[in-house]
Chains A and B, each alone.
Chain A
Amino acid sequence: MNNNKNFFKAQERLAKIKAFLLVTPLLLFVLVFFVTPILLILVKAVYNPKVNSLIPQTVVVIKQYDYKNVFPKEEVIKVFLTELQVLAKNRSSGILAEELNRQVSGFGSTIKKTARKIKKEDINAITNYKEYLLSITKKWNNPNFWIAIQRSYSSFTFSNVLAAVDLKYDMEGNIVQKEESQRIYFPILVKTLYMAFLITFFTIILAYPTAYFLSTLPKSKANLLMIFVLLPFWTSLLVRIVSWITLLQEYGVVNELLLYLNIIEQPLDIVFNQFATVITMTHILLPFMVLPLYASMRAMDITYVKASASLGANPFLTFIKIYFPLTLSGLSAGAVLVFIISIGYYITPALIGGVDGQMISNLVEFHMRTSNNWELASAIGGILLFITLALYAIYNRLVGVNNMKLG
């Protein structure tokens, strides 16, 4: 008896191991290609050892620096100039300049100018280092420069994460808002959420009646018509975006038609802006809304609706009380899907968004590819990830993930 029990237990364990082995490839794949890169990016957002590896001695000797004196002690400046000279000679002062300019705007040119001068100088022959710096440029008269160097002692910094939401450390080390002219990331983050909301809203408006209509048809017809919903889904993204450009451009189909009908006198500015981004993304993401809605409408037991009607409820009340709640699982699944895809969308705003249609992912791309500021790009990415998780948590609280129906 006991033997039998053990035998079954062993069998069960074996089955579990087999099942686990079957999912191992996927698990490993997710770990290596999904979890690890995300973790690396999150680390990059707060870990930046570049400055203290370029000027290792300076960051140590400048520890006692007090910004009220503006300049650090002479011997500290000497150490700094010596290290800068080495960097200038092997042509890596530019990296230092770029890094420090990210901490304090205007520091980059000061470093590069100084590096060019110091390259050929005999440092021991300089009598007054402070005066020497000031003779190169008066911009050295800025305690923020020295604070930036002082803070680089630690490789861990939250300054990039702060910068991603337009905050910074002040001279005392408190977190404050950046100057008005430098606040760009937070407004764009808000704009991204706003546009994602608009896109979700429009897809609901368009998808709900469509899905309803499809769900009332016999299956064979519905499947045929469903192809029209899916056709754009199967068409290349680029083709769809370019066709929208053709439609919306200055002398495109829409403008020509409106001009011909005398509705407008001047062609409308409807391409390369926020409007174009929203309209194109609504089109692109529409299937993500139609499919779960259609599935929930198909799965619905229509006798509830009939019962409601036969008990005397008018169509409107039936819709509000019975029909709509029964489609909520599909609707919320579609809405979450569209919203989350929207806030991370890149290619459409890049191609059709012009300047004011740019979303937060375009800034990530900019810092990855153009300004080579991977730390800031990682920080923005981390914040985006955080927002997505937060939204998901809220959704889970309100609707419950188990109720989500994707079709």
Chain B
Amino acid sequence: MKRIILSMSLVAATLAAESLTVISWGGDYGKAQMKHAITPFMAKTGTKVLFDDYKGGTAEIKAQVDSKNVKWDVVDIEYIDLEKACSENMLERLDTSFLPKGQDGTSANKDFYPAALASECAIGNIYWSTVYAYSKAHIGANKPSSIQDFFDIKKFPGKRAMRKRAQINLEWALIADGVAKSKVYEVLETEAGQKRAFKKLDTIKKNIIWFDSWSQAPQLLNDGSAIMAQSANGRMTEFEIVWDAQAFDLDGWAIVKGSKNLKLAKEFIAFATSTKALAGMQDVNYGPTRASSSALIPKEKRNKLPSAHLDEGFKVNGIFWSDYATELNEKYNSWLLK
């Protein structure tokens, strides 16, 4: 009897040790990660990876950490949320020593772009941006080309789809209202700036369809429920992207604080941020965070990556959102319910 129990617990232990829960964003991006990171990792190590989606934000991570019931190991986190999660002790600290060299032999510290290693809680895995796009089938003769057009319901009557949160939406409102792209966060820090942003959003409030998950955006464009939709550039490959006021940001792999599979999680991150895996994200038009991966991207593809349109957009400020996410989302929710 004892032996049975012992062997059963051994089986259970090995099962538990060999499975890793990785959380990302699904959709085409999820497929690309599946192809270039998850599947090869499982094949190489024999680990079972549970690959699931989340809708962003820090609430779910915080709930797991606070209740000491950590179910997620590795999370693909947006840098707009990263600083908040990191400073509030929701993520494990990572150094860079476990990262593999680039394909060309360059050390990881030199191969990665500095921004991708700037946080102590995540390893950057893509450059991406929040943009808006429209479908040729539904837009009509007039084509939008700027963020002002997104906020102009006279010129472009119809619904706009936006993600239900304060982030990016407030920045866009200010830029559309005439604030310089470089001054956005400075203005948004002030009470007057926040009022101004909400006032601008008020002008299109009745025309907004709110969604919770990026994956809903292409769907809304496809069936014509919305004429323009905000989303990650990688989800809009089949539509016309407007790059004006693109919010340029990184995603990174992070480990949830208290993960029971710390070692395996690091192994996964090392694998998923190798030169080849990162270059694979060009499938969905996301830029790699390693110089050695950039070298693998064909010239004609580079134009479709967010990095080709840097002048038109602005860089998302994670520190600002670390400080302001709570109170601005609270204000945003009050505004939404009014």
Determine the chain A residues whose CB is within 8 A of the CB of B329 once the complex forms: 371
Given contacts A371-B330, A372-B59, contact A355 B210 (CB under 8 A): yes
Given known pairs A112-B322, A113-B323, A250-B225, the reply for A105 and B88 (CB within 8 Å) is: no
- Main secondary structure, interface of A, reads helix
Q: Which of chain A's residues have a CB closer than 8 A to the CB of B57?
A: 370
A335 to chain B, nearest CB (A): 28
State the Cβ distance, B222 to closest chain A Cβ, in Å.
13
Interface residues of A in 168-220 (CB under 8 A from B): 181-182, 184, 188
Other-chain residue from B59, B86, B89, B209 in contact with A371 (beta carbon distance below 8 A): B59
User: For the complex, is B337 an interface residue (Cβ under 8 Å from A)?
Assistant: yes
B89: contacting residue among A92, A105, A109, A112, CB under 8 A = A92
User: Complex formed: what's the CA distance from A331 to B5 in Å?
Assistant: 59
**Contact residues of A between 330 and 379, Cβ < 8 Å to B:** 354-355, 358, 366, 369-372
Known contacts A101-B330, A369-B59: does B225 contact A91 (CB below 8 Å)? Answer: no
B327 adjacent to A109 (CB under 8 Å): yes
B97 contacts partner chain A, Cβ-Cβ < 8 Å: no
Q: Given the complex, which residues of B lie within 8 Å of A105, measured CB to CB?
A: 327, 330-331
Contact present for B334 and A182 (CB under 8 Å): yes
Known: A113-B323, A188-B337. A94 touches B210 (CB 8 A): no
> B303-324, CB under 8 A of A: which get 1 and which 0?
0000000000000000100111
B77-100 to A contact mask, C-beta < 8 Å, 1/0: 000000010111100000000000
- Docked complex Cα distance between A355 and B191 (Å): 25
In the complex, are the beta carbons of B337 and A355 less than 8 A apart? Answer: yes
Indicate which residue in B87, B326, B333, B337 contacts A108 across the interface (CB closer than 8 Å). B326
User: With A101-B326, A371-B330 given, is the CB distance from A94 to B87 under 8 Å?
Assistant: yes
Tell me if A91 and B66 are in contact (CB < 8 A). Answer: no
Residues of B within 8 A of A354 (CB): 210
User: In the complex where A105-B330, A250-B225, A355-B336 touch, is A372 in contact with B62 (Cβ < 8 A)?
Assistant: yes
Residue of B nearest to A370 (CB): B59
Min distance, Cβ A179 to any Cβ of chain B, angstroms? 10
**Cα-based distance from A92 to B88 in the complex (angstroms):** 6
> In whole angstroms, what is the CA distance A294 to B112 when docked?
73
B337 touches A112 (CB 8 A): no
Contact with A along B202-237 (1 / 0, CB 8 A): 000000011000000000000111000000000000
**Does A291 touch B at the CB level, under 8 Å?**
no
- Residues in chain B near residue A369, CB distance under 8 A: 59-60, 63
A380 on the B face (CB < 8 A): no
Kindly identify which residue among A91, A95, A108 contacts B323, using a CB–CB cutoff of 8 Å: A108
Residues 9-24 of B, flagged 1 when their CB comes within 8 A of A and 0 if not, give: 0000000000000000
Judged by a CB distance under 8 angstroms, whether B2 is at the interface is no
Query: Judging by beta carbons under 8 Å apart, are A95 and B88 in contact?
Result: yes
Q: Chain A contacts of B323 at CB under 8 A?
A: 108-109, 112-113
Q: Are B338's CB and A184's CB within 8 A? A: yes
Which of B223, B322, B337 contacts A184 (CB under 8 A)? B337
Q: Is A358 a contact partner of B337 (Cβ separation < 8 A)?
A: yes
Q: How far is the CA of A109 from the CA of B191 in the complex (A)?
A: 12
Verify if A97 is at the interface (C-beta below 8 Å from B). yes
CA of A92 to CA of B86 in the docked complex: distance in angstroms?
10
Chain B contacts for A251, CB-based, 8 A: 223-224
B225 CB to nearest chain A CB (Å): 6
Residue-by-residue, is A102-128 near B (CB-CB < 8 Å gives 1, otherwise 0)?
Answer: 000111110011001000000000000
Give bound CA distance, A342 to B218, whole Å.
Answer: 34
In angstroms, how far is the closest chain B Cβ from the Cβ of A331?
34
B261 CB to closest chain A CB (Å) equals: 22
Question: Complex: how many Å from CA A358 to CA B224?
Answer: 25
B63 engages A372 (CB within 8 Å) = yes
Residues facing B in A21-74 (CB within 8 A) are none
Distance from B220 Cβ to chain A, minimum over Cβ atoms (Å): 11
Interface string of A286-308 (1 = CB under 8 A from B): 00000000000000000000000
- Closest B residue, CB atoms, query A107: B327
**Residue of B209, B224, B327, B330 with most partner-chain A CB within 10 A:** B327
**A111 to chain B: closest residue by CB:** B323
Nearest to B60 among chain A residues (CB) is A369
A136 to chain B, nearest CB (A): 11
CB distance from A39 to the nearest CB of B (A): 20
- A98-B225 contact, Cβ under 8 Å, with A184-B338, A358-B337, A372-B62: no
Residues of A with C-beta under 8 A to B327: 101, 105-109
CA distance A113 to B83 in the complex (A): 12
Q: Which residues of B contact A90 (CB under 8 A)?
A: 89
Alpha-carbon distance between A98 and B330 when the two chains are bound, in angstroms: 11
- Give every chain B residue within 8 A of A109 (Cβ-Cβ): 189, 323-324, 326-327
Contact check, B87 vs A372: say whether CB atoms are below 8 A apart. Answer: no
The listed residue with most B CB atoms (<10 A of its CB), out of A106, A109, A184, A372, is: A109
Closest to A366 in B: B333
**Alpha-carbon separation in the docked complex, A90 to B87 (Å):** 9
Could you say which residues of chain A place their CB within 8 Å of the CB of B86?
91
Q: Do B89 and A94 touch across chains, with their CB atoms under 8 A apart?
A: yes
Docked-complex contact A91 and B89, CB < 8 angstroms: yes
Residues of B within 8 A of A91 (CB): 86-89
With a CB–CB cut-off of 8 A, which chain B residues contact A106?
A: 191, 327
Chain A contacts of B66 at CB under 8 A?
Answer: 372
Tell me the residues in window 36-62 of chain B with beta carbons closer than 8 Å to chain A beta carbons.
57, 59-60, 62
Q: What residues of chain A lie closer than 8 Å to B189, measured between beta carbons?
A: 109
In the complex, which residues of chain B have a beta carbon less than 8 angstroms from the beta carbon of A366?
Answer: 333
**How far in angstroms is the closest Cβ of chain B from A93?**
8
3 shortest interchain CB distances as A-B pairs: A94-B88, A91-B89, A109-B323
Known: A112-B323, A371-B333. 10 other contacts (CB 8 A): A94-B88, A108-B323, A109-B189, A109-B323, A184-B334, A184-B337, A251-B224, A272-B209, A355-B210, A355-B336
15 contacts between A and B (CB under 8 A): A91-B89, A92-B89, A101-B330, A105-B330, A108-B326, A108-B327, A109-B189, A109-B323, A181-B338, A182-B334, A184-B334, A355-B337, A371-B329, A371-B330, A371-B333
| Chain B residues within 8 Å of A, Cβ to Cβ | 57, 59-60, 62-63, 66, 84, 86-89, 189, 191, 209-210, 223-225, 319, 322-324, 326-327, 329-331, 333-334, 336-338
